[in-house]
């Protein structure tokens, strides 16, 4: 099918997303405290190429040029995150005014260029001082997060009307507090359950404070979603699929919608009751203005009794002989359509914004061009599926590409490139890829 911007309607929001730790650099400059990722990457064994985000794209220095790139690419919305330790170095207490000033300059630059800023409060860079006190496993984080949210809202709410509370809590809790391959590197169910519960409570806390402090804002939260299919129709494979669906898709949306924790489909969740205090169940739900839906792939699950709790394993895409991205993820555009329908079926979500979708592929340099035809096809195919869902009545109002710049890709280091813009990490120069030029042309289309 021929894809046109006008098909989505004049009010559909187009943008790109980034995260502070992945692009900013300046990791201990001008009063910033250390984050858990600053500390986690000090052990080079934690990162695939032994790298870190100490400098990354040096967006802290080059933010003006990066906003100019957005303007050049006709991108009208920019979603970025605030580094919690840049504005509250210890996580609470004394505010670092130089950090506040940086984000104020960034916001003002966006507005001066006609670009609408969207703020994500938490994109994984917890102040390390808080981690030393237990981080997300410590119930005090409810107060720490409330204070952080209030500081951000009071300083930026006069100019920023679109907010997201958490980015992919299933990922940063699962990878950071159960599997241990993301910061802070904690493992086990006894870390996972309290961290999960506190993150769920913080979604509501953040939403309430935003609405109280910035009354006319649009508040949301960004949830990772992955289509989960069973390897076969056997009862054990289907039950394993259901458990993985809980882990990947249900843990942070169902409590938010007032449905509680999906304990019936995942026995290991029964112990979460030990983390709950009186009235917690009443505080979990919050009626967000929108849900940020993020999708990259689907997974196929097979029963395996040797895997603790989940009793299943993911059948890797490479072992299924399907087309993959550079991350080894299956290219399956229908997943974003199916996940929009899956969440919409709850009947309680007013609006969806696709706040992340994109892919890493090897970029091909030919003379002065950086060709990435696979990325262009990936984006087109997924945008078509978003449009399909929209045309079927799902209230999806925006689509944000991950990401603007090649950056530090968490545990993958600099081995994966997701950007519309190529970053030379030796001299921090930026080069627009063919996918960037394609998106710019797509966005330049005028409504009739």
Sign of the four-CA dihedral 385, 13, 69, 61: negative
- The CB density around residue 38, as the number of other CB atoms within 10 Å, is 22
Active site residue 323: no
Active site residue 356: yes
Strands (E), 264-329: 290-303, 312-315
Q: Which of 58, 14, 20 is nearest to 37 (CA)?
A: 20
Rounded to 10°, the helix 141-156/97-112 angle is 50
Long-range contacts of 275-283 (CB under 8 A, 24+ apart): 275/193, 275/194, 275/197, 275/198, 276/197, 277/139, 280/197, 280/201, 283/201, 283/204, 283/205
Question: How far is the C-alpha of 34 from the C-alpha of 20, rounded, in Å?
Answer: 13
Helices assigned H by DSSP within 113-188: 128-131, 141-156, 169-177
CA atoms within 13 A on the CB side of 67: 21
Which residue in the block uniquely carries the two structure tokens 């949306």? Answer: 253
Question: How far is the C-alpha of 306 from the C-alpha of 301, rounded, in Å?
Answer: 14
- The CB density around residue 415, as the number of other CB atoms within 10 Å, is 14
| Joined tokens for residue 28 | 């201990």
Question: How far is the C-alpha of 182 from the C-alpha of 85, rounded, in Å?
Answer: 18
Q: 254: helix, coil or strand? A: coil
Contact 328, 359 (CB under 8 A): no
| Joined tokens for residue 442 | 């797509």
Which residue in the block uniquely carries the two structure tokens 């169910």? Answer: 189
Sign of the four-CA dihedral 30, 36, 39, 42: negative
- Cα 335 vs. chain centroid, distance in angstroms? 17
Q: Which of these is catalytic: 168, 254, 330, 409? A: 168
92 torsion bin: left (phi>0), alpha (psi -120 to 50), beta (else): beta
Contact 331, 297 (CB under 8 A): yes
- The CB density around residue 146, as the number of other CB atoms within 10 Å, is 16
Q: Which of these is catalytic: 254, 356, 409, 434? A: 356
- The CB density around residue 360, as the number of other CB atoms within 10 Å, is 25
- The residues assigned a catalytic role are 168, 356
């Amino acid at each position: 099918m021929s894809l046109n911007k006008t098909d989505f309607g004049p009010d559909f929001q187009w943008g790109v997303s980034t995260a502070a730790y992945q692009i900013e650099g300046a990791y201990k400059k001008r009063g910033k405290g250390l984050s858990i990722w600053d500390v986690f990457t000090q052990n080079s064994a934690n990162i695939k190429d032994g790298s870190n985000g100490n400098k990354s794209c040096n967006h802290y220095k080059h933010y003006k040029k990066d906003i100019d790139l957005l303007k050049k690419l006709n991108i009208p919305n920019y979603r970025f995150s605030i580094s919690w330790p840049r504005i509250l170095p210890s996580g609470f207490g004394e505010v670092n005014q130089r950090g506040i000033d940086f984000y104020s300059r960034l916001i003002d630059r966006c507005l001066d260029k006609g670009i609408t800023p969207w703020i994500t409060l938490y994109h994984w860079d917890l102040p390390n001082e808080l981690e030393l006190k237990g981080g997300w496993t410590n119930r005090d984080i409810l107060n720490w997060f409330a204070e952080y949210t209030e500081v951000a809202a009071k300083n930026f709410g006069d100019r920023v009307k679109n907010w997201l509370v958490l980015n992919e809590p299933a990922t940063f809790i699962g990878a950071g507090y159960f599997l241990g391959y993301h910061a802070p590197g904690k493992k086990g169910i006894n870390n996972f359950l309290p961290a999960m519960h506190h993150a769920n409570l913080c979604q509501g806390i953040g939403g309430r404070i935003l609405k109280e402090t910035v009354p006319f804002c649009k508040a949301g939260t960004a949830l990772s979603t992955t289509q989960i299919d069973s390897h076969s129709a056997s009862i054990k494979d289907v039950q394993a699929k259901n458990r993985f669906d809980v882990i990947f898709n249900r843990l942070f949306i169902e409590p938010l919608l007032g449905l509680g924790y999906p304990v019936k489909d995942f026995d290991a969740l029964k112990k979460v009751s030990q983390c709950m205090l009186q009235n917690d169940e009443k505080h979990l739900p919050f009626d967000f203005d929108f849900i940020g839906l993020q999708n990259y792939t689907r997974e196929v699950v097979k029963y395996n009794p040797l895997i603790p709790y989940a009793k299943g394993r993911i059948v890797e895409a490479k072992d299924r002989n399907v087309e993959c991205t550079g991350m080894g993820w299956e290219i399956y555009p229908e997943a974003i359509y199916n996940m929009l329908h899956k969440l919409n079926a709850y009947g309680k979500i007013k609006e969806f914004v696709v706040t992340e979708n994109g892919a890493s592929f090897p970029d091909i340099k030919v003379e002065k061009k950086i060709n990435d035809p696979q990325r262009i096809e990936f984006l087109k195919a997924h945008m078509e599926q978003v449009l399909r869902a929209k045309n079927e009545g799902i209230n999806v109002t925006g689509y944000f590409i991950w990401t603007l710049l090649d950056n530090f890709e968490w545990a993958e280091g600099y081995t994966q490139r997701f950007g519309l813009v190529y970053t030379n990490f030796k001299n921090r120069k930026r080069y627009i890829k063919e996918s960037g030029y394609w998106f710019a042309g797509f966005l330049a289309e005028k409504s009739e």
